[in-house]
Amino acid sequence: MKNLSKKSKIIIIVSSVIVGLIALIVLFSFTLFAVRKIEVDYKSSTLNLTATQQEIVENSGIKQGGSVFFQKKSKFKNNLERKYPYIKVVNIETVFPSKLVLHIVERSEIYAFEHDGLYYICDNEFKILRITDSFVSEQDNAILVGGAIIKDGNYAVCDKLPVKNFVDIYEKLYQNNRTISEQRAIIKEINFSLELDEVYKKETLSAELKLFDGQTYKIKNCERGLAGKTKLFIDVYSQVFNFIGKDIKLKDGTTITLTEEILLDSVIEINNFYDYTAHQENDCYFDIIPN
């Protein structure tokens, strides 16, 4: 009985200590670790963001006074990204003991998709940033996209546009160190189409790039080795005018002297090698195809 009584005392003491610690943690959570300051950190330009920092904080739903440990960060992120189409919340940082920092970037207008008479201006995640009934591709706005398939439906700003028959040319060019500003200045529009590949004996997706300087490039079978093909596009684009006045061999075996007129009236096709035993996925070549 004495041993049992001693154990009971130990249990009571340990329980009391645990309860006391929990109480202290709760107390500190809502005093020392209570949210007292909320900041907005812009990680990019803010050309299309008209909201003030105070408005951003207010519309996030974050309240001062709550514990930094019990904040529903995903909810705050969703609040802001539904309220402001151009805001992308990178993360919400907890700075102990009592500060939250909203790290945000501005979404860029990258693609313009036409659907049912409207143009949906989207970023690279297909988030709709704005909708317009007319659009003309220029060197400082989104790249016009044709041939992509969009499921029928009513879409609003901040929705994600469901896009098929499409590959993300922007992302691959960005990985090759071409910013969106550079891409907009070069590419006027991208048109996707399914074409029969005589070697594969099946339809593959091609992307035709029409440039502002009058050139046309076609990336064949662009679902294979796109990283290599976009890199080759950049290399050819930056050097092809140096070949004007020189003899070049065409795909059909004939040789011509390249002129600017021929170049601008041609399609430069970029394709992969079919011999996979000798070539890797990103190995590719180009042909100049006069019209």
Given a cut of 60, is residue 180 above it in pLDDT?
yes
The pLDDT of residue 196 is above 70: yes
- 199-250: pLDDT as tens digits: 888 999 999 999 999 999 999 999 999 999 999 999 999 999 999 999 988 8
Its CATH architecture, for the domain 37-106, is: Roll (3.10)
The residue-averaged pLDDT of 56-82 equals 91
Rounded average pLDDT over 116-134:
96
Q: 3-38: per-residue pLDDT in tens?
A: 556 666 566 565 655 654 554 454 444 455 788 999
Mean pLDDT confidence for 133-150: 96
pLDDT of residue 56: 95
Q: Which of 239, 217, 238 is nearest to 229 (CA)?
A: 217
Question: How far is the C-alpha of 290 from the C-alpha of 263, rounded, in Å?
Answer: 7
pTM of the predicted structure, to 2 decimals: 0.85
Here the tokens at position 227 are 């990283």
Residue with tokens 């992307």: 207
Q: What's residue 197's pLDDT? A: 87
Query: What whole-number distance in Å separates Cα of residue 129 and Cα of residue 83?
Result: 11
- Number of other CB atoms surrounding residue 161 within 10 Å: 19
**Structure confidence at residue 6 (pLDDT):** 63
Q: Helical H runs in the chain?
A: 2-29, 53-60, 73-83, 169-175, 180-186, 226-239, 260-264
Domain ranges of the chain: 37-106, 111-290
